[in-house]
Structure 1
Amino acid sequence: MELDIDDVSAGSSAEYPDRVSVMEGRLQLQENEITLLKSSLADALRRLRLHDQLIPLLKQQLIAGSGKGPEQDVFCRGAHPPHHHQEPPERGPPGPQWLHGEPEFSPPDPNLGRTSLHYPGGMEPPVEKLELDWVYGYRGRDCRANLYLLASGEAVYFIACVVVLYHINNRTQRHYSKHTDCVRCLTIHPDKVRVASGQTAGVDKDGKPLQPYVHIWDSSTLITLQQIGLGTFERGVGSVAFSFAVTFLCVIDDSNEHMLSVWDCAKGTNTNEAVFTVEFNPNDSTNIITCGKSHVYFWTLSAGSLTKKQGIFGKYKKPKFIQCFVFSLTGDVLTGDSEGNILTWGKSPGDVKTLGKGAKETFQIMRQTRAHDGSVFTLCMLQGGALLSGGGKDRKIIRWSADLAPERECEVKDTCFGAVRCIADVDGEELLVGTTRNAILRGTFSDGFVAIVQGHVDEMWGLATHPSQDVFLTCGHDRLVCVWNTEEHKLDWCTTLEEYGLCADFCPNGAVVSVGLSTGRWLVLDLQTKDIVSDYTDGNEQLSVMRYSTDGSFLAVGSHDNFIYIYNVTESGRRYSRYGKCNGHSSFITHLDWSKDGKYIMSNSGDYEILYWDIAGGCKLLRNRYESKDREWASYTCVLGFHVMGVWLEGSDGTDINALCRSHNERMVAVADDFCKVHLFQYPCPKPKAPNHSYEGHGSHVTNVRFTHCDSHVLSMGGKDTCILQWRVKRGGTGDSGGDRLHSSSSTSTSSPEP
């Protein structure tokens, strides 16, 4: 740069040395950055050449039986990940290995002209492992006949890929977790020990289909007795039923043909209508009943083949759906339909006048009983011959005598529980009621019902753990904000918002929690009173991350409008004032973390970008990311960063990991991926292909994961499966690294209050 001395006035001559020194300093900084970029490019090219040279050598060593390759130095790949409109390098590691943020640089060596990169940490999986401790939730919104009581006193039901055995008096859980995708149906054997559960089809991480099947297992030992139907069913298994003769299992799949098969006696035959449920006649195991869309079929099993007869509605209006049925003590079939009626079916001799000589017997309606306003969702036969029915629209439970005279009724008054989906008899008086809004109620006609199991009913994304208590918060598309207790395994309270929540964070004092909503609005709730103490709006797009600084003096709000809004926090988290705005990302904000001193922020965005911000200096973007190489972070939830490079699988596209969380002791990283799995890595894990422990249980993409305040548990939430899994951290355990989830966990809490 040249300066014309003649243009410099005498009055400014005194300032000249200062201006020159400033310009020289800027020029030096630019030269340093250029040097770093050149060295990075040279190192990348060197490694590519070395990679091409090593491939033949490695192949030779593998052939020769050697498992070790030559040692090689590792150098930085680049100073900045590409934006969403840029393409990844044509050569080099695929996926997020080029997406990661700033590596930890050592000081540049002027003699080498390059920057060395040192990997902290080893290549070992963490000594800690996870074991399934508790399952929050129940799938009642779209499944039928999915709640039973075992001889052990345990209620058996399912959610996601887990079948839960919940002892209703001892408040303990055990888990059958051998399914590879969402469980969709369940039945218990007449001996009340054996259980059959069927799952839906799925896909693996490569998009290849996983076939559905049925497991038959022992509820006392949780040992799988038989796996049937692999390669036979399509889409999933819709309904299963045991025969009373112990010999047969009847299965209906979810294909277009709704194939009915009896195992192990028949290959199967087809029905062409939507089928809801199937049962064997308790008095005759060669007789099978199915019902569904406008039909009831009576099947006969003989010599390995099935024949069917359709129930005749005659003078009665044919309902749109027949939802459920039971067998009376006299052998009649009672069905509940979408018109609110209970129909009694029986055998009638063939009508010779209509069908001619040789007409065979038919199954016709003997009686129609008006039961509910809206659909009859479930029927339950009691031991003495009395009948229970559950309604959809009216949410009523009615007890009927053996001759179908109404005796007693009650209503599930709290609308947040939804309609009656399923009823299980406990002792003739006490009942378990599964509802359409994913709750299980316990009670009697006299005393009413309270919830013993509750859950979300729509996709969940927001998860936050309390800084000092065994408490966590969840929020989702159902507009519910729920606060749970990890020690007592219950819902403390929940409230319904006007919009759905997507993110949350507790203030470090633990008294309030902030929740980000889908409209750019965010609320601050008092943890004790549930009152909204603050209400603000930033932009008009959804918020994706809320994060307090370590001392609680700042709150950072990450939005889909590409900005991070910074607020001053006063009055113990009850008052907020805008401090500044971080402007520099070219896509929506996904994750962010504060430094331990509360002065800086690290953030990720939807275009796989990682940026650093000087908050104390006025929310300025730090363009020289080298300055952040040794900065300590109070939390680590950013999925892109040097310290967590190893969590990404080779070939990942950048969306395969939805969330991660470093433990408070900075020894572990829990990862939520897009393939229904939770992973546990050692921290830091910067090396590619870092070893880890993987755990299954969710039935959809895992949207979030968090450690509890003392690192005793990991919490993970599924998206569409509406399931929250609580994993116990086993330090130095010797269990299966793949996560054997056959574990019993106890709780001493009382019934959870109604929200």
Structure 2
Amino acid sequence: MSRSKEPVWSPEERSLKIYLKGRAVNMYAPSTVSDYSIAKPGELPAEKLQLEWVYGYRGRDCRSNLYYLPTGELVYFTAAVVVLYNVEEQTQRHYLGHNDDVKCLAVHPDRIKIATGQVAGHDRKEGRRKRAGSEKAEELSESLPHVRIWDSVSLHTLHVLGLGDFDRAVCCISFSTLDGGHHLVAVDEANEHAISVWDLSRDRPHKITETKSSTEPVLAVEFHPSEKGSIVSCGKGQITFWTFEGGALAKKQGIYDKYDKPKYVLCLAFAANGDVLSGDSNGNIFVWGKGSNRITQSVVAAHDGGVFSLCTTKDGNLLSGGGKDRKVIEWDSTCSKTGRETEVAETYGPVRTLSQGKGGLVLIGTTKNRILQGSLDLEFSPVMQGHIDELWGLATHPTQHQFLTCGSDRLVYLWDSQSRSIVWTKELNDPAHSCCFHPEGSVVAIGTKAARWVVLDLATHEIVSVHTDGNEQIECIQFSPDGNYIAVGSRDNYVYVYQASEGGRKFSRVGRCSGHSSFITHIDWSEDSQYIASNSGDYELLMWTASTCKQLTNPTTIRDIKWASQSCTLGFNAAGIWPEGADGTDVNSCNRNHKETLLATADDFGKVNLYQYPSTQPRSPAHSYRGHSSHVTSVCFLFDDSRLVSTGGNDSAILQWQVV
């Protein structure tokens, strides 16, 4: 592969030229920069980030991923983080061994060890432009789908299984119980959903056997708790009973006899007497006799719609969770209703997974990414909630420890970073993509995917102003530092400028800045609120006079404008954030702290990066942090620089980092 073009410094023009995807980007150095040398290495910042809190839970498309541990913590995952959350003490710990989406979780019989499986990582894309080296090769190999077994007390990784063995993702796993957890079964998302059994009894775990499971999706796999060598799996169009003997797997399909075969078998559980219980998409609960592949008992239409989860409780009863009807129903050991049931509120969504909590409490994970805690006699209340679709919009309050997020799910959340709770939430009519606070902190502007931008009053949560510009997504939106203007960057290549009055509640259009040949990606204002800088999808950096929407082209004027923020990923003070061979889409967002000493970036490889500011030396070093999966979309420092908040795109997660 040809080497990317090297950055070039022109002493005559006092400009730095870097190349993104072969395209030259010129950036003018301020007059105050006197001794610039392109060869001088950049320095790491003294500060670092520490993950403090994770907002969110992945319930929309994952199951059996919420458990109560003897430590008093709930264990679950979102993005690439496994969260251990003590609800009573309001503390979180985080396992950060994964580098992309965690898809499944199993708790060892000792209730201390945890196994988690992940998807194929994004480091493959990153790896293509990394120089080969043993350390990088190791990092690359860990971006293959694999299972990590770790200690939930120390958070130390004990084993990494299956690098190179799994395809696409590990979708379900289970520890054996009869032999004290010496074996693990795993199913991947290859075309034939390979099922493999691993021996964990030695220092170096190894795969004993692997066989094709099904050409259709597999949703659950479990070792039988009381029958040696018995494994049950289920998924689309099948429930399968496996016998693991002599190092090999043999299978028998479940036979439905007189019953309609469901499209999906959605979940499994085990009765105290060893019977296997299944819940399916027809709303039925079937009992499969111990050691048999035939139905011995049925509860037809136990739920209206699919049975998404089954959970046997300590007292021998069974709980079932419904998708369509959102009900949790209790059944006794004869599969008769006990009379105890509850319905989850529609705002929380259908039941995705059920689990036994502390004492008599029940945990519910929902498809709307909520975790609820309660009992069938008392109501269920949310202990964790978050976004349920792609997330890009993030803004921090100008004077308080609060931040706002908005996403494709049309939800707007105002969060408090100190109590780590939701202040309020509101649903919009359109999917949202960008947001910003007015400098006075009383209103917030939100850009939507429908070309509209709306202004919300923070006290009443009511919409006080609505405007439409163009007919494409509002990519970015920013009030001027004095609050008298707002700049709106659209996917239609224009920046629309409005005069703002009444504390950001009334607007009159000034004009539009025309000159970009691709969609607007980032906007900054000058400290005196006179000028706007904008970046576009084809890596242009243009500047404008706000009052006239005219483009500035004179380098003498441009180089000495003092900018109130550094949201633009292209600019002399952010030149160092672009890695070698970077594609202009590699960095999605950047944000300068208020002390002007740090620059944080959100990249396409699931990493949050922390640079020294200004970052003017090409390919400056950074502290990099994992936690998100796929693309990290936004980063923003709180008003006092004590915290950094980051949002994930497809992972819908919000991570709060302490600056230490």
TM-score (normalised: structure 1): 0.80
Mapped contact 2:19–2:25 kept (Cα < 8 A) = no
Match of residue 134 from structure 2: none
Mapped contact 1:121–1:684 kept (Cα < 8 A) = no
Mapped contact 1:464–1:504 kept (Cα < 8 A) = yes
Match of residue 135 from structure 2: none
Mapped contact 1:502–1:543 kept (Cα < 8 A) = yes
Mapped contact 2:10–2:16 kept (Cα < 8 A) = no
Change beyond 3 A, Cα 1:728–1:427: closer
Tell me if 1:301 matches 2:244: yes
**Could you tell me which of 273, 286, 291 is aligned with 1:343?**
286
Deviations 1:654-702 (A, max 9, x none): 1111110011100000011111111111111111121111111111111
Mapped contact 2:72–2:358 kept (Cα < 8 A) = no
Change beyond 3 A, Cα 1:107–1:481: closer
- 1:94 positional shift: 4.2
Deviations 1:128-170 (A, max 9, x none): 1011111110000001101111111111000111100001211
Change beyond 3 A, Cα 1:729–1:116: closer
Match of residue 748 from structure 1: none
The 2-side partners of 1:585 and 1:462 are apart by: 23
**Could you tell me which of 368, 375, 393 is aligned with 1:437?**
368
The 2-side partners of 1:137 and 1:602 are apart by: 34
- 1:715 positional shift: 0.9
The 2-side partners of 1:125 and 1:319 are apart by: 58
The 1-side partners of 2:600 and 2:22 are apart by: 19
Match of residue 260 from structure 1: 195
Mapped contact 2:532–2:543 kept (Cα < 8 A) = yes
- 1:75 positional shift: 2.5
Pick which of 536-545 and 426-435 moved more.
426-435
- 1:412 positional shift: 4.0
Match of residue 271 from structure 1: 213
Match of residue 131 from structure 2: none
State the secondary structure of the residue aligned to 1:636.
coil
The 1-side partners of 2:651 and 2:116 are apart by: 17
The 2-side partners of 1:565 and 1:120 are apart by: 40
State the secondary structure of the residue aligned to 1:573.
coil
The 1-side partners of 2:13 and 2:109 are apart by: 64
Mapped contact 1:378–1:423 kept (Cα < 8 A) = yes
Matched letter for residue 441 of structure 1: L
**Could you tell me which of 571, 586, 608 is aligned with 1:656?**
586
The correspondence of residues 573-588 of structure 1 with structure 2, limited to 5 A, is 573-588=504-519
The 2-side partners of 1:120 and 1:526 are apart by: 50
Tell me if 1:695 matches 2:625: yes
State the secondary structure of the residue aligned to 2:266.
strand
Deviations 1:714-742 (A, max 9, x none): 11111111111111101xxxxxxxxxxxx
The 2-side partners of 1:564 and 1:343 are apart by: 60
- 1:625 positional shift: 2.7
- 1:443 positional shift: 1.4
The share of aligned pairs that are identical, in percent, is: 48
Tell me if 1:334 matches 2:253: no
Mapped contact 2:28–2:555 kept (Cα < 8 A) = no
The 1-side partners of 2:425 and 2:27 are apart by: 41
Deviations 1:286-319 (A, max 9, x none): 1111111222222222221122222211111111
Match of residue 313 from structure 1: 256
Deviations 1:259-286 (A, max 9, x none): 1111117222221243211111111231
The 2-side partners of 1:505 and 1:254 are apart by: 40
Matched letter for residue 279 of structure 2: G
The correspondence of residues 246-645 of structure 1 with structure 2, limited to 5 A, is 246=180, 247-264=182-199, 266-273=208-215, 274-346=217-289, 362-370=292-300, 371-427=302-358, 429-616=360-547, 618-645=548-575
Matched letter for residue 267 of structure 1: T
Mapped contact 2:274–2:290 kept (Cα < 8 A) = no
- 1:646 positional shift: 0.8
Matched letter for residue 72 of structure 2: G
The 2-side partners of 1:656 and 1:99 are apart by: 16
Deviations 1:297-356 (A, max 9, x none): 2222222112222221111111111111111111111110111011011158xxxxxxxx
The 1-side partners of 2:92 and 2:587 are apart by: 29
Change beyond 3 A, Cα 1:405–1:75: same
State the secondary structure of the residue aligned to 1:417.
coil
- 1:539 positional shift: 1.6
The correspondence of residues 39-118 of structure 1 with structure 2, limited to 5 A, is 75=11, 94-95=19-20, 99-104=24-29, 106=31
- 1:388 positional shift: 0.3
Match of residue 173 from structure 2: 240
Tell me if 1:215 matches 2:151: no
Matched letter for residue 309 of structure 1: K
Pick which of 576-585 and 203-212 moved more.
203-212
Match of residue 706 from structure 1: 636
Tell me if 1:164 matches 2:79: no
The 2-side partners of 1:635 and 1:73 are apart by: 24
Change beyond 3 A, Cα 1:376–1:655: same
- 1:446 positional shift: 2.3
Tell me if 1:146 matches 2:79: no
Change beyond 3 A, Cα 1:584–1:704: same
State the secondary structure of the residue aligned to 1:627.
helix
The 2-side partners of 1:664 and 1:609 are apart by: 25
The 2-side partners of 1:99 and 1:672 are apart by: 22
Deviations 1:550-594 (A, max 9, x none): 111111111122222221211122111122322222222111111
Mapped contact 1:95–1:650 kept (Cα < 8 A) = no
The 1-side partners of 2:40 and 2:377 are apart by: 62
State the secondary structure of the residue aligned to 1:607.
coil
Pick which of 653-662 and 202-211 moved more.
202-211
Change beyond 3 A, Cα 1:172–1:80: closer
The 1-side partners of 2:616 and 2:577 are apart by: 8
Match of residue 59 from structure 1: none
State the secondary structure of the residue aligned to 1:645.
helix
Larger Rg belongs to: 1
Pick which of 583-592 and 216-225 moved more.
583-592
The 2-side partners of 1:107 and 1:292 are apart by: 65
Change beyond 3 A, Cα 1:590–1:383: same
Tell me if 1:201 matches 2:130: no
Match of residue 56 from structure 2: 137
Tell me if 1:680 matches 2:636: no
Match of residue 41 from structure 1: none
Mapped contact 2:390–2:650 kept (Cα < 8 A) = yes
- 1:74 positional shift: 5.7
Matched letter for residue 339 of structure 1: N
Mapped contact 2:31–2:560 kept (Cα < 8 A) = no
Pick which of 296-305 and 712-721 moved more.
296-305
The 2-side partners of 1:405 and 1:675 are apart by: 50
The 2-side partners of 1:311 and 1:303 are apart by: 23
Match of residue 133 from structure 2: none
Mapped contact 1:106–1:116 kept (Cα < 8 A) = no
Change beyond 3 A, Cα 1:142–1:499: same
The 2-side partners of 1:693 and 1:615 are apart by: 36
Match of residue 43 from structure 2: 124
Tell me if 1:184 matches 2:126: no
The 2-side partners of 1:523 and 1:227 are apart by: 48
Deviations 1:462-486 (A, max 9, x none): 1100001111111111111111111
The 2-side partners of 1:228 and 1:138 are apart by: 25
Matched letter for residue 261 of structure 1: S
Aligned length: 631
- 1:121 positional shift: 9.8
Mapped contact 1:104–1:118 kept (Cα < 8 A) = no
Match of residue 737 from structure 1: none
- 1:630 positional shift: 1.7
